[in-house]
């Protein structure tokens, strides 16, 4: 009979913690599930924030081995989720340093403020419904977001990815990136303004 661990009510950090606890007590299915999740996170982070597919495969291998070792010496299962993202980010940074890739930079005011004539236009979705027009407008917005996201400097891209796309809390993002919570909020705000402006300009 597999070990019984109290499952969370949908909080991802608690779900990871339950898997780590079960895996550490010898449940092979939990260990397999955890190792697969680690590789999925590594792939998503690497593809979204760092580099190309070849890098993603290397980062996945790294996450697999390190997660396995983590489970063997686990102290705090609840810290696993942030540990995993931090580990994956560090692996990506190492890759980028080796290739002297995309430099990080600070977003300028010109990139986030409204146009100098004060123009602020909308880019509302086509509204509810699955009419061909609504689907086309919403697909164009999604493509626009993808392009705008790619144009963000890497430091901001990591914050948008972790906070908005992966659903980490501000505190978790701060722990992953080793910066203060106010800094996470400030950078997230600038990144949102940048994305909004890019979507407006498209």
List residues binding another protein (CB under 8 A).
28, 31-32, 35-36, 39-40, 43-44, 47-48, 56-57, 60-61, 64-65, 68, 113-114, 116-125, 141-142, 145-146, 149, 160, 164-167, 185, 188-189, 192-193, 195-196, 199-200
Interaxial angle between packed helices 181-201 and 170-177, expressed in degrees from 0 to 180 and rounded to the nearest 10: 100
Nearest approach, Cβ of residue 100 and another protein (Å): 26
Q: Which is nearer to another protein, 65 or 94 (CB)?
A: 65
Give the Cα separation of 146 and 140 in Å (integer).
Answer: 10
Here the tokens at position 5 are 């661990």
Collapsing DSSP states into helix, strand and coil, what is residue 90?
helix
Q: Which is nearer to another protein, 7 or 146 (CB)?
A: 146
Distance linking the first and last C-alpha atoms of the chain:
56
Q: Which is nearer to another protein, 7 or 189 (CB)?
A: 189
Q: Which is nearer to another protein, 103 or 161 (CB)?
A: 161
Q: Which is nearer to another protein, 62 or 96 (CB)?
A: 62
Q: Which is nearer to another protein, 17 or 191 (CB)?
A: 191
Nearest approach, Cβ of residue 123 and another protein (Å): 6
Nearest approach, Cβ of residue 200 and another protein (Å): 6
DSSP state of 105: -
Cα separation values, 83 from 43, 71, 102, 144, 168, Å: 16, 12, 24, 32, 12
Nearest approach, Cβ of residue 14 and another protein (Å): 18
Nearest approach, Cβ of residue 70 and another protein (Å): 13
Q: Which residues contact 183 (CB under 8 A, 6 or more apart)?
A: 174
Give the Cα separation of 13 and 23 in Å (integer).
Answer: 15
Nearest approach, Cβ of residue 31 and another protein (Å): 7
| 92, 45 contact by CB (below 8 A) | yes
Residue with tokens 């913690």: 17
């Amino acid at each position: 009979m597999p070990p019984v661990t109290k499952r969370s009510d949908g909080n991802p950090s608690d779900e990871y913690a339950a898997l780590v606890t079960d895996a550490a007590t010898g449940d092979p299915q939990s260990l397999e599930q955890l190792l697969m999740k680690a590789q999925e996170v590594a792939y998503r982070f690497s593809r979204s924030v760092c580099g190309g597919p070849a890098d993603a495969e290397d980062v996945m291998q790294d996450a697999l081995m390190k997660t396995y070792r983590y489970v063997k010496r686990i102290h705090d299962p609840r810290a696993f989720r942030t540990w995993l993202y931090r580990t994956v980010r560090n692996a990506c940074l190492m890759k980028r340093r080796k290739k002297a890739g995309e430099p990080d930079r600070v977003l300028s005011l010109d990139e986030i403020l409204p146009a100098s004539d004060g123009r602020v236009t909308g880019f509302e979705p086509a509204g509810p419904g699955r009419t061909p027009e609504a689907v086309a407008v919403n697909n164009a917005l999604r493509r626009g977001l993808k392009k705008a996201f790619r144009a963000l400097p890497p430091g901001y891209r990591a914050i948008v990815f972790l906070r908005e796309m992966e659903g980490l809390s501000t505190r978790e993002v701060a722990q992953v990136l080793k910066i203060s919570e106010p800094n996470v909020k400030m950078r997230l705000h600038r990144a949102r303004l940048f994305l909004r402006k890019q979507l407006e300009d498209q």
